[in-house]
Structure 1
Amino acid sequence: MTGEGGDRGPAVRPTADDPFVAALSPGIGGPAGEHVGRHPWWTPVRVILVLTAICFSLGMVQKAPCYDAQWTNSQSRYSEMCYSDLPYLYVGRGFAELDWPYSNSIQVRDRYDVMEYPVGISYYAYATAYVTHWLKGSPDLAARGAMSQGQLYADHEVVRESMLFTAVSSVGFGICALLAAWALTGVNRRRPWDAALFALSPVLLFEGLINWDLLAVACVAGALWAQARDRPGLTGLLIGLGTAFKLYPLFLLGGLLVIWGRERRWRDLAVATGTGAVTWALVNAPAYLSGHHEWSVFWTYNKHRGADLGSGWLVLQQMAGTTFSSPTINLASWIIFGVWCVGVAALGVWAPQTPRLAQLGFLVVVGFLLVNKVYSPQYALWLLPLAVMARPRWRDQLIWQAGEIYYFASVWWYLGTYLNPGGGGDPGFYWLAVGIRMAAQLYLAVIVVRDILMPEYDVVRTRRPAWARHSFWPPTEPGRLTLGRAPGGG
């Protein structure tokens, strides 16, 4: 059990490993020295969990303006940048009446659209609605059945329930964030502090509550942990479970194919793939058996969906003043993505050393998002655990996430029509935001490719950072005892 970069040797101190952290450290006593003391309770894992809880709580505060307005002010959700899908779908998908998401009842389907998400999200939303109804004292559902959707949206009791539904969902997302952070601290036991890049992420703060994506993020982080512990069965189970929440965890199997193929570990690959397939099938079975047509909506909806927010396809359409058909976009995007995957696989096969799963997974998911026909703001969460483990450097992470946050603000300004040209015309500022976001992702992808081709630049594999090899680091002053953690801390 060697982990992604090897677990042998002393733990890495952030102030002696990352120049960004070292530059900030004088404000809290300076870099860790040779005589640092060990705190009896504050382990790296506990610190990371506390930082995650603080960051996620701030994300809930960021959504407070919309919560206070009960998400009924159509403009404040854009001006305050606090939009979330959750309260709108509480009524729009039948959860106010506690209807099973995959019911094939004509009465239900005449009133509500089917959930257009994978089954794991539908299950979670249904369970959250059940808890919401229980906390509200089991409202009279028969009376609601006599009301129209418009009346339900306007009903004060239902509006309050949708707020509670959002709050209960957020508690679950917070638990997922904590589980993901915990898992990331153990991907490489020499480098538990790398998980701080996840715990203090601007992407987590601003985008964690837009949709249900953190459910899949926790599974991906868990899969990275399981693979680092040489547990192929658990790795496959978490990939299968994550794929039941979102499609993209499936792409980790490609990374495993390259890694375990180089190591001739075909049995482990078969175990992970088989376990993942069985897990996904078992999770999907209740939805499929209760309503096959309703189960297929996720697939048909995405097949026929046109170019949407955040995608390069939408920008091309707006620039050209035309509309590409769904089949055209589907074919082109899958061809480009296929070529991208072949390139990543070739990179992994011919790399000087076997790449790490986080590196290959990050590159594949980046390629998928860049060519996808929809790229919602919260999709950046898909990359987050992979990115922080692929390239655990604050500078590079902040460059990438600066592009994400710039787009996060711009998409709400675009939807709120706040920066449209005064004389009319095309939304050039939005095109710029999409381009900056893609450029930031490509920057991080290039850095990861370099680390794979030249492993001496991969900070996870090296014992001493390249920037400190020709300096006496950490600097110390005679007679000064730096407060901090013992070797293995930070």
Structure 2
Amino acid sequence: MSVTPERRAASAAPSRDDPVVAGLSEAVGGPFGRRAAPPQRWWGPVRVALLVAVVVLALGLLADQPCRATGWADRADRSMWTSLCYSDVAFLYRERGFADGLLAYRDSLLEYPVLTGAVMQVTAVVAGGLYDAFGGGGDLAPAFAESVVFFDLTAGLMAVCALGVVVATARTVPRRPWDGLLVAASPLLLLSAYVNWDLLAVLATSLAILAWTRDRPVLAGVLIGLGAATKLYPALLLGVLVLVALRSPDRRAALRDAALAVVAAVVAWCAVNLPVAWWAPQGWREFFTFNAERAADFGSTWFAIGLLRPGLLPESVDDLAVVSAAVLLVLIAALALTAPAPPRVTQLAFLAVAAFLLVNKVWSPQYSLWLLPLAVLARPRVRDLVVWQLAEGVYVLLLWRFLATLYDPSAPLLTNHQYALAVLLRIAGLLWLVVMVVRDIRRPEDDPVRPFLTPGDATAPRHRRREATA
């Protein structure tokens, strides 16, 4: 069978495209040949990535078994932290009234956006029904046993979301299907997939970007709105779409698409929020009240500064966080509007979410999942992703030791100063990746994704230029 140039150029070959993978491939015969035809096998890039993701997610569940056996009974149990199996899920089932049959927002306050709360509520009802019908949880007390069933259902849902993120990432740039494997094999999934419900928003964001690249601005907007109803950060994509539209050769059509996405996002967000705001106004406001009154918390830059230099920061860092975020977002806009070539959507989205995390009042370990598909699509280079995720992994390990010390200070495992240094290490890892993405924007010839986009246009959101927005 003859091999045409079009077929040879169809997809990126990781062993030829990525320097690290190319070096490792020497052990098995070297990089994929430039004249070689891609093998036509059932085990294509997406299926391989899904298989790897299933293995990683299963290992994550296995790692949670020590805590699952005790029903996540007590945060003061040091073994929960040292075993690296902590999760908010079972605790919140008992602490937010789900175990008592209360309705979120109406009967009990819940500091989560309404779509996340709805998922928690439905899962709690199903968990209670399954426990009543079949039991479960071994010899644990009923409340703890039910919380284990609740965790199992939530973990299954988060695993499905993670698989969806893998597929969406693999499909976003059609000629780079192996990029999904960089999400699937990520240690962040192993460490944080089941800590909370963040993968709901990660999936919505990934699908929104995919929809935008497929000429579906309304669907992209709806997904952004639904994502913002699970975690607020997907709303940052709306500004990104406007910036991309401003750099489009067909600015009028691009701005029209961006406007459609913004309107669709607002309508979708209102559709799920307004009924709850009317039905349970105080409960609906709790998410906003909780975050407005929250002090600098674990993982944040401000928390680290407070540990290293007590008294340096004011009691409330709200003004500092808002001003810092505004400055960083203005800098990102300036970068987008002055870059030699129009930046890609995922480059700007990654920078926007990274900026938000760097100055936010809290930076929980699972928040880094927000960045994972964006980082892969913005800078799919093994070296840079490993640098960032290695820093994240070290931070998570030290965070659990720090929390073990807080709940049981009789035998400290980590000092305040050491934990603050761990936060700084995490920041440094993310800044490394940020610098690489900014460099790619300023020097488009270094962008590893750009050669695989539609020739002649690197940013237009629609009209046969769909790959260019990835």
Q: TM-score range by the shorter chain?
A: 0.7 to 0.9
Match of 1:442 among 421, 431, 434: 431
Give the distance between the partners of 1:283 and 1:364, measured in 2 at CA.
Answer: 25
Give the distance between the partners of 2:427 and 2:409, measured in 1 at CA.
Answer: 22
| Deviations 1:189-214 (CA, angstroms, capped at 9, x unpaired) | 00010111111001111111111100
Contact kept in structure 1, 2:302 and 2:361, CA below 8 Å = yes
1:420 deviates by 8.6
1:155 deviates by 7.3
Contact kept in structure 2, 1:185 and 1:192, CA below 8 Å = yes
Matched, 1:345 2:333: yes
CA 1:323–1:303 in 2, change beyond 3 Å: closer, same or farther? farther
CA 1:95–1:422 in 2, change beyond 3 Å: closer, same or farther? closer
- Could you tell me which amino acid in structure 2 is paired with residue 166 of structure 1? F
Equivalence map 1:8-407=2 (5 Å): 9-33=9-33, 34-35=35-36, 38-72=39-73, 74-103=77-106, 108-109=107-108, 114-137=109-132, 156-263=141-248, 264=251, 265-322=254-311, 324-325=313-314, 328-407=316-395
Contact kept in structure 2, 1:306 and 1:325, CA below 8 Å = no
Give the distance between the partners of 2:147 and 2:317, measured in 1 at CA.
Answer: 36
Contact kept in structure 2, 1:98 and 1:126, CA below 8 Å = no
1:137 deviates by 2.8
Give the distance between the partners of 1:139 and 1:202, measured in 2 at CA.
Answer: 34
1:463 deviates by 5.7
More divergent stretch after superposition (29-38 vs 66-75)? 29-38
- Could you tell me which amino acid in structure 1 is paired with residue 200 of structure 2? L
Q: Scaled by the length of structure 2, what TM-score is found?
A: 0.88
Percent of aligned pairs with the same residue? 41
Contact kept in structure 1, 2:113 and 2:229, CA below 8 Å = yes
Aligned length: 436
Give the distance between the partners of 2:283 and 2:411, measured in 1 at CA.
Answer: 45
CA 1:422–1:288 in 2, change beyond 3 Å: closer, same or farther? closer
Aligned to 1:454: 443
Contact kept in structure 1, 2:96 and 2:110, CA below 8 Å = yes
Aligned to 1:476: none
- Could you tell me which amino acid in structure 1 is paired with residue 90 of structure 2? P
1:251 deviates by 0.4
| Deviations 1:315-352 (CA, angstroms, capped at 9, x unpaired) | 222233338556x4111111111010000001001111
| Deviations 1:154-188 (CA, angstroms, capped at 9, x unpaired) | 97112111001000000000110111111111110
Contact kept in structure 1, 2:16 and 2:32, CA below 8 Å = yes
| Deviations 1:47-101 (CA, angstroms, capped at 9, x unpaired) | 1111111111111112121112221252111111111000001111111133210
Give the distance between the partners of 1:9 and 1:119, measured in 2 at CA.
Answer: 45
Contact kept in structure 2, 1:420 and 1:427, CA below 8 Å = no
Contact kept in structure 1, 2:307 and 2:417, CA below 8 Å = no
- Could you tell me which amino acid in structure 2 is paired with residue 84 of structure 1? S
Unaligned ranges ≥5, structure 2: 1-6, 454-470
CA 1:379–1:37 in 2, change beyond 3 Å: closer, same or farther? closer
Give the distance between the partners of 2:268 and 2:231, measured in 1 at CA.
Answer: 14
Give the distance between the partners of 1:139 and 1:43, measured in 2 at CA.
Answer: 40
1:102 deviates by 1.6
Give the distance between the partners of 1:165 and 1:463, measured in 2 at CA.
Answer: 43
Contact kept in structure 2, 1:184 and 1:224, CA below 8 Å = no
Contact kept in structure 1, 2:115 and 2:230, CA below 8 Å = yes
CA 1:77–1:356 in 2, change beyond 3 Å: closer, same or farther? same
- Could you tell me which amino acid in structure 2 is paired with residue 329 of structure 1? V
Aligned to 1:411: 399
Give the distance between the partners of 2:437 and 2:11, measured in 1 at CA.
Answer: 23
Contact kept in structure 1, 2:11 and 2:452, CA below 8 Å = no
**Which protein is bigger by CA-based radius of gyration?**
1
Give the distance between the partners of 1:213 and 1:431, measured in 2 at CA.
Answer: 24
- Could you tell me which amino acid in structure 2 is paired with residue 119 of structure 1? V
CA 1:131–1:417 in 2, change beyond 3 Å: closer, same or farther? same
Give the distance between the partners of 1:257 and 1:377, measured in 2 at CA.
Answer: 30
Higher relative contact order (CA 8 A, sep 6+): 1
Contact kept in structure 1, 2:71 and 2:140, CA below 8 Å = no
Give the distance between the partners of 2:414 and 2:57, measured in 1 at CA.
Answer: 39
